[in-house]
Structure 1
C-alpha cells in the first residue's frame, strides 16, 4: 500500500509538472518553470519515500534515502519561493532573490551531505544527526512560514474564485508543512538531549502507524498534495472556464439576435459594419461579436429615444406591478421590452412621436461599461421582447408586427 501511495503520487506530480511546462492557450504563464521544478522535486521526494525505491538506493549506500528525500524537499521549497518571487517582484529583482535562494539551497544541501557522510563514519552519531536535522528543518520551516503568509494574503486580494480557493488550499498545505517542521524540532530536542522519545528504528506499516509516521510521513505527504492542488487548481480550471465563457457568449449572441434584428432594422445606421453584420461568430472572436451586438442594441435604443412612449411605459409598469414583479430585474425588463416594441413599431411605421418621452430604464448607468452586466440585462429584455405576455403588450402599441421579421 505504501509503495502504491508514494509511487502513484510521484506519477501524478510529474504529470502536473509536464502540464505546466507544456503551457496553455499558446503561452507559458509566469513562473511555469519554477512550478515545474517544484512539482518534479516533490515527485522525486515521494519516489524516495517508497519502500521499494528506499531499499534499492540503500542497498548501495545505507540510509541515503533520507538524504535524497530531504534534498528534493528543500529543492521543492526553493522552487515555491522562486514561483512566489516571480509573481510578486519585478523580473530583475526576482532573479536576484532567486539566485540568493539557490545559493542558500546549495549550501544547505552541501552541509547536510557532509554531516550525513560524517554520521555514517561515526556510526550514526546523534549529535551529527541533530545538526543535520537542524539545517534541514530551519530552511524548510522558514520557507513554509513565508509561503503561508504570502498565499493567505494573496487569497484575500484575488478576484478569481479558483485562485482564492487554490491559494487557501495551498495555505492549508503550508500549515501541514509547519506541523511536520514542529515534529522535526521535537525529534531534534529528543535526540539532542538523549531522551529517546522517538524511536528511529520503527518502520511505517501504514501512513498513520506507528504514531510518528502521521507526522514524519503523512503530514509532509498531505502538505505536498495540498500545495500541488492549490497551485495547480487555477491552471486546471482555466480551460473549463474558457469553455464556459465561450458557450455563454455564443448562446447570448444567438439569444439577442431577434431584438438586435428588429432594432437595427428600425435604425440601420447603428450597425457598426453593415457589410459584415451577419459574420458567423463561430469562426471568429466570440467576445468581439457579442460586444458589437450589445453596443449596436444600446445605440439603437438611444436612437429610438424620441419614440419611447411614457404612456406605454406606465401601462406596462402597472401590469408588472399587478403581477408582483415591480422593482425586479425581470419586471423592469418586461417594461423595457414593451417600450422598445412600441418604439420600433412607431419608427418603422413612420409615425410622428407625440406625448412625453419615457425615461431610461432603471440601473442603466450602473451597467454601463460592464459587458457581462449589460449582456445579462439585454438577455432579459430580449426574452420578454420575443415572449410578451398578452396583458403586458400595451393596446396603444401602433404595430405589434415589429416582433416578427418578414
Structure 2
C-alpha cells in the first residue's frame, strides 16, 4: 500500500508540475499525456478505487491507452511517424480485450482466479494485454538506453538510464506474468498467491524508477525556474516602486505576463524584463538623486527612497551627472545587485513622507 501511495503521489505530482509545459510543443504535450494516462491507470488499480469501481478491465484499457501515448511520445522524440499504425494497433487491442472480457464473463486479475485451469479466452486476454504492453516497454527501454549514451554526463544520463531500468523491470514483469498464465492455462499448477506480491513489487518499483528517471533530467531546469522565480519575488518591491512612479517603463501589461508562465525560458524572459524595467525607472529617477555614495546596496536603496521623496514633493530635476552604482557586465550581476538593493529597500523603514516601501499591487510579473 505504501508503494502504491508513493507511486500515485509521484505521478499526480508530476502531472501538476508539468502542466505549464502544455503550452510549449507536441513532445512536451505527449510527455504530459503519458504521465496523465499512467496516473489514471495506477489510480484505477489502487485497491480502494478498484473495489469501488468493480471493473478490473478498466485498468487494463487505461494501461493500453497509456502504452499508446508512450509510443506516441517515443515517436515524437525520435522523429518517427506511424501514427495511423499505432492508433490502429491500439484500437485493435482495446476491441480484442473488450470482446474477450465479454466471452469470459469478466476478467478477474486476482491470484485465486488466475490459478488454472484457465479458459483459452482468458489466456488470450492476458497474452494480448501483456504482449502489447511489454512490446511498448521494450521499445522504450532500448530507446532510453541508447539515448543515454549520447546524453550529457550527470543528471541527464543518469535519469535516462534509470528510466530504462524501470521500463525493463516492467517488461520483465509482463513477460513473467504472460508465461505463468500460459502455463496455468496448459494445466501446470502455479501458486499465484506466492508470486503475486513479488510481481506487484517488481511492477511498482519499475514504474517508480521509470517516472523518476524521466523527471531527473528536468531537475536542473526546475532549479533554474525556482531560482528565477525567487529572484522575481525579491525584485518585486523595487520594481513596484518604479512601476508606480514611472508606469511608462512597463514593457507589457500584467495580463500579457499571465500567458508567459510555461518553462524556464519564459520565466527568465520575465526576469530580464523586470531588471530592464527597474533600470529604466532608475534612469528616469537620476535627476532627483541627492549627493552621496551609492556603493552599497543599503546606500543605493536609501538614495532611491530619497529620490522618490524629492520627486513626489515636486522638487525640480537636477541633471548634474549623479548616477547609481555601476554594475555588470552580465545580466546575472544585475540580478544579484538589484536583488540586494530590493531587499534593503524593503527593509528600510523610512518615514511615510520619505517614499515608504510600496505595498504589493498589480500582477506578480
Same fold? TM cut 0.5: yes
Q: Which residue number in structure 1 is paired with residue 157 of structure 2?
A: 164
Deviation at 1:181, TM superposition (A): 1.6
1:341 aligned residue: none
**Does 2:63 match 1:73?**
yes
**Structure of greater Rg:** 1
Among 156, 172, 184, which residue is 1:191 paired with? 184
Give the aligned partner of residue 239 of structure 1: 222
Instruction: Give the distance between the partners of 1:75 and 1:224, measured in 2 at CA.
Output: 16
Residues 29 and 15 of structure 1, relative CA distance in 2, 3 Å threshold:
farther
Q: CA deviation at 1:80?
A: 2.0
Distance change in 2, residues 1:121/1:174 (3 Å): closer
Report the alpha carbon displacement of residue 30 of structure 1 after superposing the two structures with TM: 5.0
Q: Deviations over 1:46-87 (max 9, x none)?
A: 2222221121112xxxxx22x222222222222222222212
SS in 1 for 2:188: coil
C-alpha contact (below 8 Å) 1:20/1:33 kept by paired residues: no
Tell me, in whole angstroms, the C-alpha distance in 2 between the residues paired with 1:81 and 1:222: 21
Instruction: Map 1:347-386 to 2 at 5 A.
Output: none
Contact 2:327 2:333 in 1 (8 A): no
Structure-1 residue corresponding to 2:283:
none
What secondary structure, in the 3-state scheme, does the structure 2 residue paired with 1:23 have? Answer: helix
Report the Cα distance in structure 2 between the residues aligned to 1:85 and 1:69, rounded to whole angstroms: 24
Q: Equivalent of 2:96, from 103, 111, 114? A: 111
Q: Could you tell me how far apart the structure 2 residues matched to 1:150 and 1:227 are? A: 13
Q: What is the count of residue pairs matched by the alignment?
A: 236
In structure 2, the partner of 1:178 is: 171
Q: What root-mean-square deviation, in Å, do the aligned CA atoms of Structure 1 and Structure 2 show?
A: 3.4
Please give the residue correspondences for 1:280-291 in structure 2 after superposition, counting only pairs within 5 Å.
Answer: 280-281=327-328, 285-286=331-332
Q: Aligned partners of 2:186, 2:41: CA distance in 1, in Å?
A: 29
Distance 2:171 2:212 in 1: 18
Report if the CA contact (8 A) 1:13-1:39 is conserved: yes
SS in 2 for 1:130: helix
Give the gaps of 5 or more residues in structure 1.
59-63, 203-209, 248-275, 290-406
TM-score after normalising by structure 2: 0.57
Structure 1 121/147 Cα, relative in aligned 2: closer, same or farther at 3 Å? closer
Give the structure, 1 or 2, with the largest relative contact order (CA under 8 Å, sep 6 or more): 2
Offset at 1:188? 2.6
Alignment match, 1:19: 17
Residues 239 and 43 (structure 1), Cα distance of their counterparts in 2 relative to 1, 3 Å cut = closer
Q: 2: distance between equivalents of 1:52 and 1:243?
A: 36
With the length of structure 1 as denominator, give the TM-score of the two structures: 0.51
- Structure 1 match to 2:82: 97
SS in 1 for 2:127: helix
Distance 1:242 1:121, change over 3 A: closer
1:38·1:75 contact (CA, 8 Å) conserved in 2? no
Q: For the residues of structure 1 that align with 2:219 and 2:172, how far apart are their CA atoms?
A: 28
Contact 1:21 1:32 in 2 (8 A): no
1:129 aligns with 2:122: yes
Task: In structure 2, list runs of 5 or more residues that go unmatched.
Answer: 232-322, 336-365
Q: Residues 5 and 242 (structure 1 numbering): CA distance in 2 closer, same or farther, change over 3 Å?
A: closer
| Aligned equivalents of 1:9, 1:46: Cα separation in 2 | 8
Q: CA deviation at 1:239?
A: 2.8
**Match status 1:211 vs 2:195:** yes
Residue 221 (1) aligns with residue 204 (2): yes
CA contact (8 A) 1:10 1:47 kept: yes
